[in-house]
Structure 1
Amino acid sequence: MKVKGFTAAAVQAGIRYQGRLDLGLIYSEVPAVTVGMFTTNTVQAAPVVLGKKRLLNGKAQAVLVNSGNANACTGEQGMEAALRTGGLAADALAIDEELVQVASTGVIGEQLNTDPFVRAVPELVSSLREDGFDDLAQAIMTTDTVPKTSSASVEINGVEVNLLGVAKGAGMIMPDMATMLCFVVTDAQIPFSVLNAIVSAGVEQSFNLITVDGDTSTNDTVLVMANGAAETPWLDEENQDGVKIFTEALHKIFKDLALQIVSDGEGTTKVVTIRVVGARSKDEAMSGAQTIANSALVKTAFFGEDANWGRIIAALGRSGCQFQPERVSIAFDHVVMVKNGLGCGKEAEKKASKVLQQKEFTVTVDLRDGSERAEVFTTDLTCDYVKINADYRS
């Protein structure tokens, strides 16, 4: 898909590895209304610090992103590198450097060598094209095994509006801006205040509901750019129907990309929905779901296809969620394993073990104590996850 007024490109800059795309660029023909959501980690990479500062005016025209080096925990030198690389892109594009967002992903704690950028940015700019987003998706991969893209085309007030998103993420994935990068471009015409509300709500319903390993990164970034090239009527408070259509499309892209990240989790063989229902409050339901989803014991049981419900209720018990153990029910898909706090026997366990042999399944925990619910998307924890992360820097 092409989005009016946007182009993208990627090149092999040799930032860390040779022979692979590792430097990407998104460019809008005009400054775009831009909303950013960033990591909640106290330790924040130089691109995140710079990006947050530059987005105070709600505008951006380009995004320069590299893989192989996170430019995190790099001090003043790291900030100088972020400024310099963004400046290289601004000069090559002939735009104000304050309109350039920079993003990085890769190894933490190593200084970012800007020499590859000096050599590669001119080629990067000359390679910009409308259909360059697939290359961009490949350039931002680290331990990802597949590129991640999602798009939508909707009609708003008789005008076609396009949205296109790319993302990366496979490890260091945890709710509260899971470890990831995500860039979405759209030719819709929408004011910052409306777009900001839509993006914030969308992140809460997608990227903040996924976990692979319980770790939150220093570089997490979601950027959504709207350049108005479709020339729709403004999607504002007076155009609620248009806002609703746009919101549904953007949130669908967020959810799709979030689930692609979980499915590509490092070493993953299972994708599991943890659903807690019957809770007294939304916060308690979410606390229970997140604790179960992040439990190493629960996740290794999923990998071993062991219907060990004791690990699930034990995780629930330390989550801070208030419940009465003697009322809890637990089911794997349609197979009820626990009823009124007691196991349903060997036959139920045998059926549940078959459910765990599937690539995707749902664990439903019913507290029978209220009407609130929450769900989190998680993975199993495998031997390959350990291998990948044991030698990531080599």
Structure 2
Amino acid sequence: MSSVGSPIDDEEVLKRIVQQAMKEGLAGIDDGFEGLDFGVRESLNDKKPEEAVDEYLADLKRESSQGTYDNHKSRLGFFVDWCRQEGDDGTRRVTSLHELDGQLVKDFRDWRRAESGWKVTTEETQMKTLRKFLRYCERTEWVTENLAKKVPIPTVNPEDESRDTIIRQHTVDEILSYLEKFEYATLQHCAWLVLGKTGCRISGLRALDFDDYVPDEETGKAVIKFRNREETRTRLKNGNNSERDVEVDEEVREVIDDFVKHHRPDVTDDYGREPLFATKHGRLSGSTIRKYAYMWSRPCAITGECPFDRDVSECEAAQTNDRASKCPDSVSPHPIRRGRLTWQLNEGSFPQMISEMYDVSPEVLKKHYDERSHAEKRRLASMWQDMLKDFVLDEVRDSVDR
């Protein structure tokens, strides 16, 4: 019989001890065996990253909001893409999840940083999603135990939390979908709709009179006319140079029509003008527009959940709309405009056209509104290259035929 201090010579016994200790979650038990797995990886279930993400999302969809599901699907989609890429040896970077270790998780973080230019609050949210996914994978024994603890999460002090200066068009669309369902044709809904679909400034939204909204019975669309009226206190940012007509589609028109029919108060402002968007007290104010922007851009407002792991029931920003700006993810109206212009750039619109449509010079557009990532710019450049190539080939074929 071995004495208490005798070394363990049986490798199978040692393996079982290490595996049992890991399952019981004894912190640091595997620290002394770094680089060795004693067969633990071989005992894990084999699962491809894309299959694991699909199963995780299927379970998440049953217990979470659509907004949470969509966010996790988007974030983990990048993880799957990274796993599919070729590594330095020319083979797929991650074929099975049991190959993952702390270094690979860090490599993924570094890749996303380089691709997206993350801000620290964005990185925190994205990596917390990955950690939650890996915890799920631990429970199903697809990855080594405690791998989720190795996900690098940046420390963000409350006083250092800085909100993004842009809200992406897909997020605006999610907010509009929620408002269409629960706040249909209200003043709040209309404010977000016009800001999100026309990219106008606060000054433009509040300057609209009832006669500036012109439905087109022939097309089913409508035209919104932004007009500078300095003498009656609704100056546009660049004066008369900011004046323009913007066409909105039939869905936007229907919402505004229903607001006019059911919710718009019959009021005039101090100059006898009839504002399109108003409260019972008169023309919509800039502070009210900001309040609407902050309150509905809080993620918890439409999902009931907080990406910063705060307790929504105790969070100051979630308890009252007057404190909504305290949420790190809430935005003022201007980032909505920036998101719209960035979306136009991603759609391949020419800067000169965007300049005319949104009252912004090409120089300012490039310097202050172009929030595209390097990957988005590469994708668009590739698209234009393909289109140019097709155009040249078509011209050559036409000249040959002639």
TM-score bin (small chain): under 0.3
Larger-Rg structure: 2
| Structure with greater proportional helix content | 2
| Structure with greater proportional strand content | 1
Q: TM-score, structure 1 length as denominator?
A: 0.25
